[in-house]
Amino acid sequence: METQQNEKNYWKSYGVTSLFIVVLTIVLKGIAPFLDLVNISLLYLFPVLFSAVRWGRGPSFFAAGLGVMAFDFFFVPPTRSLSVADLRYIFTFIVFLCVAALTASLASKLRNQIQQAQKREANTAALYALSRKITAISDLDVLLIEIVQHIAETLDTKVAIFFQNQLGEQELTAYSKNDKDWASDESHLSIAAWVNVNHTIAGRGTQTLREASDLHIPLATDHQMHGVLAVHVGHRSVLEMPELIPIIEALSDLAAVAISRVKLADEAKVAQLTAESEKLRTALLDSLSHELRTPLATIIGSVTGLLEGEHVFSADDRRELLLTTREGATRMNRLVGNLLGMVRIESGMMRLNKMWCGIEDVVGVALTQLKDSLQNRVIHIALDPELPSVPLDEVLIEQVLINVLSNAIKYSPEGSEIRIEAEKAGDRLLLSIMDEGAGIPPADRERIFEKFYRGNRTKHIPGTGLGLAICKSIVEAHGGSITASERKDGRQGTVIELSLLLTQ
């Protein structure tokens, strides 16, 4: 269809050129008494220049020849005849034709240069537009759709991309709008398979299947095949392909680079996740081997002592051993609870069962469960008596308080004070737990809420690094926040502050 249009425009150029000379001749005939023949001959160069710039050499040479004939017929004596009375006019005609030919050649050359510049500009604009569209895309499926749509709009044709599946077969991966039937043709799959194996372009205007109605280009980078780009070019002549193929190859190269970038990014993510998973697994195993072994050794030692020294130990000694056994079992139970809690959080299985509760009741339950672990710490509670009830999951918030208080006990010296305060601040309840430990360096105050993170100051103290990470997840699930800071009363130590919403 485009070829027919070009042929129609080609013959139209000769018709317009003829009309131009006819109109010019009529005008010149009217003003001939006021002009010399030399001036009239020069004015016939205008159709030549116009035709050369507008349509090229053919119409311009036609304008030159027709102009000479019109000049001779209407203006050179004897008029209305192609014969020439004065042979000197023959020299004038030759000079006119030479000037017209030279002018037409230069104008036509300038026109071709302008067209080439416009094509290069259009190609560069198409490449830039595609590059801008796909730069920020990180999803492969979205990227492929964007590529086929852009190329289809740029070339005004049908476009599809084929990838190799796990079985080594070509399959349709992306196609331009409303072109699924064309893209699903079995011939595309067979040609795409050949292109994928040979890494060579095939289709119209190439050495392979040069008369086909489609063009298949490999999407490859550094000898790595990513897929095959299919472009429908059936409405273009073979003569147009040498100009069309380079722009399609440039677009396909840009698309291949983008596809390679996304694939490498995905591989990097997988590698990073694998490394992090391995790191977490190692940290978990190390923590479990240490954390479980210590209370197990304590329990086994206490039980063994009770069994083997039944008549040696006094009642107080037996009670001490039993308390030690219970403390070890409680520690193991807390560790297993933290692990199960993290599993529930990571898997998205954690569900809140909110009820209106008094924060003093939650604090009381947590302290009751930890009463055997206080190790002579002094607990000071300062709760505002006017505190309202809070909508929360009582069991989960108890776990948060137990984890925070356990850390306060673990990282503060024996006999020190642990202070618990609570107050209302706007639509939130602020609950603070303060200890008199060594404190947390500013650089670690955010990281202590990460899974398995242990600060340099506390690596010698047993722990998994899960407790505060679980607290953070639970508090944030309630719409609150948890932070760590230094004490503001001049004492050394750490403040862990929970902020909970007072409304559901």
Q: What is 202-215 written as a DSSP string?
A: EETTSSSSTT-SEE
- Name the burial class of residue 73, with classes exposed (0-12), middle (13-18) and buried (19+) by CB atoms within 10 angstroms of its CB: middle
Q: In CATH, what is the architecture of 143-267? A: 2-Layer Sandwich (3.30)
Percent over 90 (pLDDT), the chain:
10
The arithmetic mean of pLDDT across residues 20-32, rounded, is 83
Q: What is the DSSP letter of 384?
A: -
pLDDT at 61: 78
Q: Which residue has the higher pLDDT, 364 or 238?
A: 364
| Structure-model confidence comparison of residues 329 and 292, the more confident one | 329
* 447 closest CA partner among 425, 429, 469, 428: 469
Asked if residue 230 has pLDDT above 80, the reply is yes
User: Is the pLDDT higher at 176 or at 455?
Assistant: 176
Confidence at residue 39, expressed as pLDDT on a 0 to 100 scale: 78
Q: What is the pLDDT of residue 353?
A: 80
| CA gap 70, 67 in Å, rounded | 5
Residues 202-218 pLDDT 10s? 988 888 887 788 889 99
Task: List, for residues 44-86, the tens digit of each pLDDT value.
Answer: 878 877 777 777 777 877 887 888 788 777 877 777 777 766 6
At 302-321, the pLDDT tens digits run 788 777 776 677 777 778 77
Q: Is the pLDDT of residue 382 over 80?
A: yes
What are the pLDDT digits (tens) for 258-283? 888 888 888 888 888 777 667 656 66
3-state DSSP of 438-498: CCCCHHHCCHHHCCCCCCHHHCCCCCCCCHHHHHHHHHHHCCCEEEEEECCCCCCCEEEEE
What gap in Å lies between CA 84 and CA 415, rounded to an integer? 131
Q: What is the pLDDT of residue 360?
A: 92
Q: How far is residue 139's CA from residue 37's CA, in Å, rounded to a whole number?
A: 73
- Over range 149-173, report the average pLDDT: 86
Q: How confident is the model at residue 451 (pLDDT cuts 50, 70, 90)?
A: confident
Residues 445-453: what's their mean pLDDT?
80
User: What CA–CA distance (Å, rounded) separates 480 from 496?
Assistant: 13
Is 287's pLDDT higher than 60?
no
The pLDDT value recorded for residue 460 is 58
Task: Map out the domains of the chain as residue ranges.
Answer: 2-130, 143-267, 355-501
Question: pLDDT tier at 419 (50, 70, 90 boundaries)?
Answer: very high
Higher pLDDT, 470 or 256: 256
Q: What does the mean pLDDT of the chain come to?
A: 80
Topology of the domain covering 355-501: Heat Shock Protein 90 (3.30.565)
pLDDT of residue 20: 83
